């Protein structure tokens, strides 16, 4: 059975070019970039090229990039650096729809005496910006707002927020794990102080991420050790993965420059529109205008997400859900709850996230298989007929 | 990804007995859309008052659908008295087990069955007994007590897995712990002390254990063990046969002989070798 992979916000396929670029760094080029001999020094040169490629993708200077192990490490490093750099400030701000890397860190810090503000969103997932600005004070150590939401794809106006936060002299961080490579980003213009990204969301391997730190930003390392990453992250470099991330960044930049996401966007829109047309009582979660081009969260009322996913799984279709049952928790995702999506819809929400490797044929298969699945599950559901008034 | 048994997958992908039963003798509705799962269970009796037919409708995950489907199969041909004895564990067992976090699906099946039987017997709709403990999922102290007793639960996580209580805001965790403690405190089996052995009984038992359990094993390696004396809890033995010359004999003595004797006779025994 062919796999139809539309779960690219969870992780992505390593691009063949990325794998090819990495392989020599497992075998022949195994030197340590810190070594004095040229066998190691050559690896340092390759890492520098990777750093330049990644910097180029987000409009940064190469020396503003620190390689980390993942998005979560980047997020944690940024927030902890802010706390350490401004020890007297005890207030932290974020949104109610962040990834657990920020959400759970903030909750942990609030138990350690920090005051936290979680800025609400409206029904379409738009951030309450006035609420955000009103929460700021001299005591605020950092504001961290994600760029694009992993579940709905909703994009926050980071340039605008960043400018305002900066004008008040407060540190600003953005978790751009889902946004990098999907939309053009230029940190130089936005003025964000720190930005997190993760390699495996754009076709490099798992276990590699980066933190952008604007030149001149007060910083204190999370991993203290050797002089690697100019002392901002100790530990021998994950050389092969860094090379892979650099290659993936190069491919992503070329793809963005070619307007490659127009095709992904068109496939996403086709999938979404056809599902809404074919399936009654279906709706899109989140602002349809300000969204990542690859993501859609579709709610199918009166059915439950896990059941939909497992039935799609029978056809090799891989997606994910905001329902409670898939995560092992008992409540629907905090993102959908923050948006006030009604329970009738939240439990039956499915996220489709595409990549440049998806084809029109694959979308057609989903459109053929999914509507009968929903129909079947609704026939099982005691609420469907009641809702239809029959 | 959940590890579902083939039977769960089968009952999920090919659910049995789906649908509304217009002329049902008993109907039981449990759950709600807010909670994420809900089940309506119907049954009909034959002239001998046995369940002739049962159907269901379920909103929920794969294990909720499979549990409902299993229940309809399990009750067919049973009298109401027999059906009343079905526990949530029986439903889970029928499916070859459920992931721990999904046990609440089997509890939902049991609850729907009970409600349907009450409905048939025209018992007044059971009022919410006890006090609501978990506000998020509307679970009472009585329901928690019952599931703790019936399934021998010991932690808050267990309770959440079985009846969802405590799975939302978490404000009720202390109260759930209290309920568990009360039940465990009341029902903790008083460990019966093994009746103390007299010296004579102890020596006899050691002798028997050596002959029956230990020497047959040692014999495989052409060794044997001879009991020399018992002094309080000290068991004095001599290793014979090939054991006597074996470099590993101290290991055999401590690891094998002593642990077997502690198991079979008394945990306080210490085995010592005499030359």
Q: Residue B124, exposed/middle/buried by CB under 10 A (0-12, 13-18, 19+)?
A: exposed
Which DSSP string corresponds to A15-68? PHHHHHHHGGGTTTT---TT-SSHHHHHHHHHHHHHHHHHHHHHT--GGGEEEE
Question: In this complex, do A383 and B20 lie within 8 Å of one another by their Cβ atoms?
Answer: no
Q: Check CB contact of B62 with chain A, cutoff 8 Å.
A: yes
Q: Check CB contact of B64 with chain A, cutoff 8 Å.
A: yes
The mean pLDDT value of chain A amounts to 95
Tell me how far apart the alpha carbons of residues A79 and A142 are, in angstroms, rounded to a whole number.
7
Which DSSP string corresponds to B35-97? TTEEEEEEEEE-TTSBEEEEEEEEES-HHHHHHHHHHHHHHTT-BHHHHHT--HHHHHHHTT-
Nearest by CB to residue A314, choosing from B13, B15, B18, is B13
Chain A residue with minimum CA distance to B66: A307
- Tell me which residues of A are annotated as active site: 325
Distance from the Cα of B197 to chain A's closest Cα (Å) equals 51
Tell me how far apart the alpha carbons of residues B272 and B232 are, in angstroms, rounded to a whole number.
12
Chain B residue with minimum CA distance to A310: B62
Q: Check CB contact of A390 with chain B, cutoff 8 Å.
A: no
Q: Check CB contact of A311 with chain B, cutoff 8 Å.
A: yes
Please give the model's pTM, rounded to 2 decimal places. Answer: 0.81
Tell me how far apart the alpha carbons of residues B194 and B234 are, in angstroms, rounded to a whole number.
19
Q: Are strands A171-175 and A140-144 parallel, antiparallel or unpaired?
A: parallel
| Per-residue pLDDT tens over the stretch B7-44 | 999 999 999 999 999 999 999 999 888 878 899 999 99
Percent of chain B at pLDDT above 90? 41
Q: Check CB contact of B42 with chain A, cutoff 8 Å.
A: no
The pLDDT assigned to B247 comes to 66
Question: In this complex, do B33 and A343 lie within 8 Å of one another by their Cβ atoms?
Answer: yes
| Per-residue pLDDT tens over the stretch B71-110 | 999 999 999 999 999 999 999 999 999 998 899 999 999 9
Q: Check CB contact of B3 with chain A, cutoff 8 Å.
A: no
Instruction: Give which of A73, A74, A72 is closest to A64, Cα–Cα.
Output: A74
Chain A residue with minimum CA distance to B105: A325
Q: Which band of pLDDT confidence, cut at 50, 70 and 90, is reported for residue A255?
A: very high
Which residues, numbered 271 to 310 in chain A, qualify as contacts with chain B under a Cβ-Cβ cut-off of 8 Å?
302-307, 310
The pLDDT assigned to A150 comes to 95
Tell me how far apart the alpha carbons of residues B242 and B222 are, in angstroms, rounded to a whole number.
6
| Per-residue pLDDT tens over the stretch A50-91 | 999 999 999 999 999 999 999 999 999 999 999 999 999 999
> Dihedrals φ, ψ of B137, to 5°?
-115, 10
| Per-residue pLDDT tens over the stretch B184-195 | 886 555 444 556
Tell me how far apart the alpha carbons of residues B250 and B231 are, in angstroms, rounded to a whole number.
20
pLDDT at A116 over 90: yes
Distance from the Cα of B261 to chain A's closest Cα (Å) equals 46
Tell me how far apart the alpha carbons of residues A64 and A195 are, in angstroms, rounded to a whole number.
10
On the CB side of B209, CA atoms within 13 Å amount to 18
Residues of B with Cβ-Cβ distance to A304 under 8 angstroms: 36-37, 59-61, 64
Q: Kindly state the greatest CA–CA separation across chain B.
A: 86
- Tell me which residues of B are annotated as active site: 35, 105
Q: Which band of pLDDT confidence, cut at 50, 70 and 90, is reported for residue A384?
A: confident
- 3-state SS class at A152: coil
């Amino acid at each position: 059975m062919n796999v139809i992979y539309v779960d690219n916000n969870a992780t992505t396929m390593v691009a063949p070019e990325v794998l090819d670029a990495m392989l020599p760094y497992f075998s022949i080029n195994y030197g340590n970039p810190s070594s004095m001999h040229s066998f190691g020094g050559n690896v340092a040169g390759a890492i520098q090229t990777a750093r330049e490629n990644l910097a180029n993708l987000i409009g940064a200077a190469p020396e503003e990039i620190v390689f980390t192990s993942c998005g979560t490490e980047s997020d944690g490093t940024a927030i902890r650096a802010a706390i350490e750099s401004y020890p007297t400030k005890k207030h932290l701000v974020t949104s109610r729809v962040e990834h657990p890397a920020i959400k759970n860190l903030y909750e942990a810090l609030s138990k350690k005496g920090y005051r936290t503000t979680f800025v609400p969103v409206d029904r379409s997932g738009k951030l309450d910006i006035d609420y955000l600005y009103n929460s700021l004070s001299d005591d605020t150590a950092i504001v961290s707002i994600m760029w694009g939401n992993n579940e709905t794809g909703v994009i926050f106006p980071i340039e605008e927020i960043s400018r305002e936060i900066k004008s008040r002299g407060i540190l600003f961080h953005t978790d751009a794990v889902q946004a990098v490579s999907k939309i053009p980003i230029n940190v130089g213009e936005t003025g964000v102080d720190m930005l997190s990204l993760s390699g495996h969301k754009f076709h490099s391997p798992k276990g590699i991420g980066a933190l952008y730190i604007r030149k001149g930003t007060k910083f204190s390392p999370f991993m203290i050790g050797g002089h690697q990453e100019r002392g901002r992250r100790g530990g021998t470099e994950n050389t092969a993965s860094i090379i892979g991330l650099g290659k993936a960044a190069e491919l992503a930049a070329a793809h963005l420059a070619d307007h490659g996401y127009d095709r992904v966007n068109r496939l996403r829109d086709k999938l979404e529109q056809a599902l809404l047309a074919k399936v009654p009582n279906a709706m899109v979660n989140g602002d349809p205008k300000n969204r990542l081009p690859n993501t859609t969260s579709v709610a199918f009322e009166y059915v439950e997400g896990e059941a939909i996913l497992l039935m799609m799984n029978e056809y090799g279709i891989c997606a994910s859900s905001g329902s409670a049952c898939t995560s092992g928790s008992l409540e629907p995702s905090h993102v959908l709850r923050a948006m006030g999506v009604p329970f009738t819809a939240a439990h039956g929400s499915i996220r489709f996230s595409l990549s440049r490797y998806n084809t029109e044929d694959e979308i057609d298969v989903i459109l053929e298989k999914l509507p009968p699945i929903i129909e079947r599950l609704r026939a099982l559901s005691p609420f469907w007929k009641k809702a239809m008034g029959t | 990804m959940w590890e579902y048994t083939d039977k769960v997958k089968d009952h999920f992908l090919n659910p049995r007995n789906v649908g509304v039963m217009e002329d049902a003798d008993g109907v039981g509705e449990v759950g709600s859309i807010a909670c994420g799962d809900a089940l309506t269970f119907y049954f009909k009796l034959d002239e001998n008052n046995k369940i002739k037919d049962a159907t269901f409708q379920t909103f929920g995950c794969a294990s909720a659908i499979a549990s409902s489907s299993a229940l309809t199969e399990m009750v067919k041909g049973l009298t109401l008295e027999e059906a009343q004895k079905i526990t949530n564990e029986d439903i889970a067992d029928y499916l070859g087990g459920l992931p721990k976090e999904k046990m609440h699906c089997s509890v939902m099946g049991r609850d729907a069955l009970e409600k349907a039987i009450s409905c048939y017997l025209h018992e007044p709709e059971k009022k919410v007994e006890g006090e609501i403990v978990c506000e998020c999922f509307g679970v009472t102290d009585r329901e928690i007590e019952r599931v703790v007793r019936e399934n021998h639960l010991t932690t808050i996580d267990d309770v959440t897995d079985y009846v969802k209580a405590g799975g939302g805001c978490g404000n009720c965790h202390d109260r759930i712990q209290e309920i568990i403690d009360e039940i465990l405190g009341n029902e903790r089996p008083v460990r019966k002390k093994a009746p103390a052995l007299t010296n004579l009984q102890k020596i006899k038992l050691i002798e028997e254990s050596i002959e029956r359990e230990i020497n047959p094993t040692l014999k495989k390696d052409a060794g044997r063990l001879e009991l020399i004396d018992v002094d309080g809890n000290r068991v004095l033995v001599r290793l014979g046969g090939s054991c006597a010359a074996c470099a590993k004999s101290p290991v055999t003595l401590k690891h094998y002989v002593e642990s077997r004797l502690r198991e079979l006779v008394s945990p306080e025994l210490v085995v010592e070798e005499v030359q």
